[in-house]
A and B are shown apart, each in its own frame.
Chain A
Amino acid sequence: MKYQEWVPHLFRTEFARITAVLCNRFGIDQIEAAEDLASDTFVAALESWTYQGIPENPRAWLYAVAKNKAKNYIKRHHLFLQKIAPQLQGSDEWSDETDFDWSAENIMDSQLQMLFALCHPSIPVQSQVALSLRILCGFGIEEIANAFLTNKETINKRLLRAKEKLKSEKVSLKFPGVESINGRLGTVMITLYLLFNEGYSSESVDGVLREDLCHEAMRLTYLLIENDRCSRPVVHALYALMCFQASRFPARKNDLGEIILYDDQDHSLWDQSMIFKGMFHLHRSASGDDLSKYHLEASIAYWHTIKEDSFLKWSNILNLYDQLLNIDHSPVVALNRIYALYKLKGSQAALEEAEKLSMTKNHFYFVLLAELNHEAAPLIAKQYLLKAYNLAKTQTDKIQIEKKLSRLTNSIAVGAQHDH
């Protein structure tokens, strides 16, 4: 029996590749068949490799089995006559050269075309993310449900409805034409951005899974970068943003798997090669006159890769948040802008702005108010933290607030001792 080094995620990666290549050949209406055939291929590998050992070339083995299964499927469903034969133009015989193309190039093209199809505007964005995880990343239903903190039934329904929509809308797997590429690219980027954030801030306890989501989002974004028609400055901006955020992965968690907030991170653990990669792509994003929210967020993320506080750092961040607010007026952006203001001009200036916001249902708002008050008025800060704790919905948030509370309580106690 031969034992080779296990390629991490080999099955998941190849599942996605096989599904994309088969579906590209069959058409989007056969998406479930493509999935099933890919699944069957891995069941066959399981039944054989487990006992006989892993073959010399596992990928070639998988592609050969997938091809045979696909050919049988075509025979059984008369797909050959209806769909494939007209494309073969005259040649009515399958030959190994003309059937399935497993070249790296075709795999990439198939996945890219699939990405555009799945991110069709007719499909709700949450479903696009779930579909991408299933079809393009090879995740199982349970794994997707874990990532979204929901149950398998919900994900199953979501996927089923989305696939029905793909069929009823007759979404094409052809690459979008020049006239529609801009709009379609925007939808694709929103999905990739969400996919990354899902991994970055997911509440799922499975930390490995979360980082996997981020890496998958980066891999798919890189597919866009490698394609001449998609490699726009804005795509580089999105990729740069992901690199900067991902550079902090090694420092984001303690041994218990709990999140370590930015201020408490050991910045010697930040992945410098990832930061350099981000800088390269941020540089590439700086052409043309389109200033997207990805550009602004990537630039903010860049300044966060510099640990030391400085006037330059925070005045740049504040300026960038001011611009971002004009494009994306969300509570998170508004709160982050006030934090930057606090870092630059101190708590009094920030408090004045914060009071104008009055987001009394947002626990982050009270966390911020507590931060702004913790030196001048620690007892008030404590009240704010208690409010934030009661409003927080997730366990991770509650744990973070609890930590702040106990730190604050300790410092109040120390202060009281000094007074005596």
Chain B
Amino acid sequence: MDEFLLIMRHEDGSKIASPEQMQAWMKQTMDWISTIAAQNKFVGGTGLPMQDACVVKSNKMVTNGPFGDIKETIGGFIKVRAETMEEAVGFAMGCPVLQGEGNSVEVRKIAQDHGNS
């Protein structure tokens, strides 16, 4: 079984939601995670605060980001176990972040340490 990273991207991370919307969104996300956890395939996850974010460019210039020239921002990610990429994509399909137009979930397989396996 492989591990996959499901990365949630928001098109506009600076949008301010109302408290009620935030609570609804949190509940949906927790429900989503719990369906994965019920199959014992949820490894972990975290949110990424938008506040105090920085971007370091190749010329070592540091900008306050991630807003500005980068359109999409990562709101958080979860790590899941799945047999195949298809199964992992199936989990991603249920992610409530996809309700927002322009938002996306990136699914990436985590490289295994082949020397130890």
Q: Contact residues of A with B, CB < 8 Å?
A: 1, 3, 6, 9-12, 14-15, 39-40, 42-51, 53, 138-143
Contact = CB atoms under 8 A, between A and B. Distances in A.
B93 to A, nearest CB: 18
A50 B26 contact: yes
B49 A1 contact: no
Given A11-B20, A40-B51, A45-B26, 15 more contacts: A1-B30, A1-B34, A1-B37, A6-B23, A9-B20, A10-B23, A12-B19, A42-B22, A43-B22, A46-B22, A46-B25, A46-B47, A50-B47, A138-B18, A140-B21
Contacts of B51: 40, 43
A133 B16 CA distance: 17
29 contacts: A3-B30, A6-B23, A9-B23, A11-B19, A12-B20, A12-B23, A14-B19, A15-B19, A39-B16, A39-B19, A42-B22, A43-B50, A44-B49, A46-B25, A46-B26, A47-B46, A47-B47, A49-B26, A49-B30, A50-B26, A51-B33, A51-B46, A51-B47, A138-B18, A138-B19, A139-B20, A140-B16, A140-B19, A143-B18
Contacts of A48: 47
Interface residues of B, number: 27
Contacts of B65: none
A274 to B, nearest CB: 24
A390 to B, nearest CB: 38
B27 interface: yes
Interface in B28-58: 29-30, 33-34, 37, 42, 44-51
B6 to A, nearest CB: 12
Closest 5 CB pairs between A and B?
A: A140-B18, A47-B47, A11-B19, A11-B23, A15-B19
B78 interface: yes
Specify which of B18, B21, B30, B50 lies most central, judged by the most chain A CB atoms within 10 Å of its CB.
Answer: B18
B94 interface: no
Contacts of A44: 49
A1 B33 contact: yes
B28 to A, nearest CB: 10
A51 B47 CA distance: 7
A156 to B, nearest CB: 11
A12 B18 CA distance: 8
A1 B51 CA distance: 25
A140 B19 CA distance: 7
A30 to B, nearest CB: 19
Contacts of A43: 22, 49-51
Contacts of B46: 47, 51
A8 to B, nearest CB: 9
A44 B26 CA distance: 11
A151 to B, nearest CB: 15
Contacts of B47: 46-48, 50-51
B30 A50 contact: yes
Contacts of A15: 19
Contact of A50 (B20, B37, B49, B76): B76
B29 A50 contact: yes
A53 B47 CA distance: 12
Contacts of B49: 43-44, 47
Given A43-B49, A50-B47, A140 B17 contact: yes
Contacts of B33: 1, 50-51
A10 B26 CA distance: 12
B25 A51 contact: no
Nearest to B50: A43
A45 B22 CA distance: 9
Nearest to B34: A3
A51 B44 CA distance: 7
A10 B20 CA distance: 8
A3 B25 CA distance: 15
B49 to A, nearest CB: 5
Nearest to A54: B30
Nearest to A134: B18
Contacts of B30: 1, 3, 49-50, 53
Contacts of A50: 26, 29-30, 33, 45, 47, 76
A235 B25 CA distance: 38
A361 B60 CA distance: 70
A49 B30 CA distance: 9
B20 A6 contact: no
Given A47-B47, A47-B49, A51-B76, A143 B26 contact: no
Given A44-B49, A48-B47, A51-B78, A11 B34 contact: no
Contacts of A14: 19
Nearest to A47: B47
